[in-house]
């Protein structure tokens, strides 16, 4: 791989990667049975540079912000590199957000350029807030002939032949602005520098290296912090190949493992759990004799790898299991949310190590990762090289708030010095998560200190972002909390949102009111719905500007009521 310690920016590192491995395949894009494109590093460069030149000819300057809203595809990475070549700032946005949320974030980050897939651009154009959009240049991919683009430019036509000027950047310059949560409330734009990404990549590839011939299956959205790092930056600076699937139907994902001999893949816990269920069903369907042999081989593999993973040995002991994953899979990378230790152990016993880790967008990607030396299903691994972890205000059980420090920690939150000062104190990032650091260096997580939940799919849900759905509920006031924030629970994986209701004086909680509450709740996506409600008999404490004092209210409820006060919805 490239020696990233010698580089001052992502753009410079990626530019050299395109020169160093011109004939290696860097990107494959497949849709069901059909392979749509296959690019070498030289071909990737030939696609990206005319795009960069078109940006520069259109007045795009270094430090200008360029947003990308696309599903996983080669054009995502090509656009990102073109921006970096020009010295710009990349703003990856989640394509699963609503059009209104996209418009809010585009305004918040003051994007000058937008690369967007046509069906998403059509949704944005139809939103009531479209007239307020102030993006100077919009480049639309996959637009049908004669489609109305409202001033947008077609991807195929947005290119110039002359070589673009490479604009160098320094390590402390801004590389990306990444939004870490939902947007209906207070947008949290994490400002990440080139140094953040370079140092994070050095740390991760020290434990899990890539090289020419390695193939990474990209399933998580590229805008996700994990996939941006290990599904773009990491493979490219090592000469490896990334496979994008335009469908995530299970049968095509399974086929991709064998078709492309996948070496690494990143998953969120929910997908990993589904994969576990599918394998257990197949094992249960085996004839009794074959099932007996399989179980003995699993036990034998478990005993032989009890001190350290040995993938080569496991492939010999359990060839049919490994061939189902293409025969080349070395590690599954999982993060973004709590993973059941039993699931991690299940895959390890099959000889498929899962490198579970822990991180935040504010820490670029990862803080700790399981290095498998030894494998510990009950922890989230050890701090990565160059990352320090400590526990703040630990109790007698050693559990306190996890804090980290390192060159991977973001610069600040965009346009929010107050939140930045609360989050980064004396160089230490306060995560809001509760953990304990063992003498072996392994970190165990036990819950959250902050008013937030993380879904199995890796989504951060902030209660404040959910509240607007209930704004017409006929009660005096209400507030949404993470239940574990009111009643601290030193456990992860069973988190839920709770809505606290304060009725009007003499108002009764009727069946009709309950049904109305349920109806509003159903307007939310499944992963954002409240799991229950609490009836509170006192007025909410408020500031002089009438904002709810959330911490005080949560403390009052937690002191006065038991968790059983939550009534299921």
Domain of residue 8, CATH code? 3.40.50.980
145 and 252 co-located in one domain: yes
Q: How far apart are CA 292 and CA 506, in angstroms?
A: 66
Question: In this structure, is residue 218 part of a structural domain?
Answer: yes
**Domain finish residue from 238, 265, 292:** 265
**Domain finish residue from 245, 265, 285:** 265
User: Domain containing 440 — which CATH number?
Assistant: 3.40.50.12780
Q: What are phi and psi of 121, to 5 degrees?
A: -65, -35
255 and 295 co-located in one domain: no
- Expressed as residue numbers, the domain containing 550 is 462-568
User: Domain containing 554 — which CATH number?
Assistant: 3.30.300.30
**Domain finish residue from 229, 246, 265:** 265
241 and 311 co-located in one domain: no
For 96-165, the three-class secondary structure string (H helix, E strand, C coil) is: CCCHHHHHHHHHHHCCCEEEEEHHHHHHHHHCHHHHHCCCCEEEEECCCCCCCCCCCEEHHHCCCCCCCC
pLDDT by residue, tens only, the chain of 569 residues = 999 999 999 999 999 999 999 999 999 999 888 899 999 999 999 999 999 999 999 999 889 999 999 999 999 999 999 999 999 999 999 998 899 999 999 999 999 999 999 999 999 999 999 999 999 999 999 999 999 999 999 999 999 999 999 999 999 999 999 997 544 457 899 999 999 999 999 999 999 999 999 999 998 899 999 999 999 999 999 999 999 988 878 788 889 999 999 999 998 888 888 889 989 999 999 999 999 999 999 999 999 998 889 999 999 999 999 999 999 999 999 988 888 899 999 999 999 999 999 999 999 999 999 998 888 999 999 999 999 999 999 999 999 999 999 999 999 999 999 999 999 999 999 999 999 999 999 999 988 888 888 887 777 788 887 888 998 899 999 999 999 999 988 777 778 999 999 999 999 999 999 999 999 999 998 888 999 999 999 999 987 767 788 889 999 999 999 999 999 99
232 and 275 co-located in one domain: no
217 and 134 co-located in one domain: yes
Torsion of CA 471, 474, 479, 484, to 10 degrees: -120
251 and 161 co-located in one domain: yes
Question: In this structure, is residue 456 part of a structural domain?
Answer: no
Question: In this structure, is residue 453 part of a structural domain?
Answer: no
3-state secondary structure of 526: helix
Q: How far apart are CA 302 and CA 291, in angstroms?
A: 16
76 and 115 co-located in one domain: yes
359 and 300 co-located in one domain: yes
Question: In this structure, is residue 364 part of a structural domain?
Answer: yes
Question: In this structure, is residue 555 part of a structural domain?
Answer: yes
The residues facing 453 across adjacent strands are: 461
Question: In this structure, is residue 85 part of a structural domain?
Answer: yes
211 and 329 co-located in one domain: no
Question: In this structure, is residue 455 part of a structural domain?
Answer: no
Q: Which residue has the tokens 């290696």?
A: 24
Q: What is the pTM of this model?
A: 0.88
Q: How far apart are CA 119 and CA 85, in angstroms?
A: 27
Closest Cα to residue 43, out of 76, 18, 80? 18
Q: How far apart are CA 217 and CA 267, in angstroms?
A: 10
Split into its structural domains, the chain has a count of: 3
379 and 234 co-located in one domain: no
Question: In this structure, is residue 207 part of a structural domain?
Answer: yes
253 and 273 co-located in one domain: no
The residues facing 67 across adjacent strands are: 91, 114
399 and 410 co-located in one domain: yes
**HSE-up of residue 562 (Cα within 13 Å, Cβ side):** 1
């Amino acid at each position: 791989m490239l020696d990233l310690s010698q580089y001052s920016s992502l753009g410079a590192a990626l530019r050299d990667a395109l020169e160093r491995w011109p004939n290696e395949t860097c990107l494959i894009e497949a849709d069901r049975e059909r392979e749509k494109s296959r690019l070498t590093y030289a071909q990737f460069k030939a696609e990206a540079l005319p795009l960069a030149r078109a940006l520069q000819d259109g007045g795009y300057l270094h430090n200008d912000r360029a947003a990308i809203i696309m599903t996983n595809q080669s054009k995502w990475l090509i656009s990102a590199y073109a921006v970096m070549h020009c010295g710009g700032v990349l703003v990856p946005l989640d394509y699963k957000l609503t059009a209104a949320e996209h418009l809010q974030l585009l305004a918040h980050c003051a994007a000058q350029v937008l690369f967007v897939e046509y069906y998403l651009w059509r949704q944005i154009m139809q939103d009531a807030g479209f007239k307020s959009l102030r993006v100077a240049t919009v480049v639309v991919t996959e637009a049908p002939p004669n489609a109305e683009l409202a001033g947008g430019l077609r991807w195929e036509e947005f290119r110039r032949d002359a070589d673009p000027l490479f604009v160098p950047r320094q390590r402390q310059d801004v590389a990306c602005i990444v939004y870490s949560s939902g947007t209906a409330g207070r947008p949290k734009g994490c400002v990440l520098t080139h140094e953040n990404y370079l140092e994070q990549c050095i740390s991760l590839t020290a434990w899990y290296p890539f090289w020419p011939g390695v193939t990474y299956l990209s399933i998580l959205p590229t805008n996700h912090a994990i996939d941006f790092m290990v599904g773009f930056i990491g493979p490219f600076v090592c000469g490896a190949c990334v496979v994008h699937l335009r469908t995530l139907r299970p049968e095509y994902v399974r086929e991709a493992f064998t078709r492309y001999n996948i070496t690494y893949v990143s998953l969120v816990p929910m997908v990993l759990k589904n994969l576990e269920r599918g394998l257990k069903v197949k094992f249960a369907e085996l004839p009794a004799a074959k099932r007996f042999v399989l179980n003995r081989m699993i036990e034998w593999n478990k005993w032989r790898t009890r001190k350290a993973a040995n993938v080569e040995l496991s492939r010999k002991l359990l060839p049919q299991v490994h061939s189902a994953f293409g025969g080349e899979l070395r590690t599954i990378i999982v993060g973004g949310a709590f993973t059941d230790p039993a699931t991690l152990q299940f895959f390890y016993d099959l000889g498929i190590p899962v490198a579970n880790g822990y991180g935040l967008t504010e820490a670029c990607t990862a803080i700790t990762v399981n290095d498998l030396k030894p494998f510990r299903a009950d922890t989230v691994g050890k701090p990565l090289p160059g990352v320090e972890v400590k526990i703040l205000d630990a109790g007698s059980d050693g559990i306190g708030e996890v804090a980290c420090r390192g060159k991977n920690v973001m610069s600040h939150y965009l346009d929010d010095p107050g939140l930045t000062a609360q989050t980064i104190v004396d160089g230490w990032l306060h995560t809001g998560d509760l953990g304990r650091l063992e003498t072996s260096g392994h970190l165990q997580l036990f819950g959250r200190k902050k008013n937030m939940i993380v879904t199995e799919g890796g989504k951060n849900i902030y209660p404040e972002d959910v509240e607007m759905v209930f704004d017409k509920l006929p009660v005096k006031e209400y507030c949404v909390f993470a239940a574990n924030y009111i009643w601290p629970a030193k456990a992860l994986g069973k988190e839920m949102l709770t809505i606290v209701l304060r009725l009007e004086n003499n108002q009764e909680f009727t069946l009709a009111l309950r049904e109305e509450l349920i109806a509003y709740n159903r307007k939310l996506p499944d992963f954002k719905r409240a799991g229950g409600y609490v009836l509170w008999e006192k007025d909410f404490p408020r500031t002089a500007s009438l904002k709810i004092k959330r911490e005080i209210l949560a403390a009052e409820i937690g002191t006065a009521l038991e968790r059983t006060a939550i009534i299921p919805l």
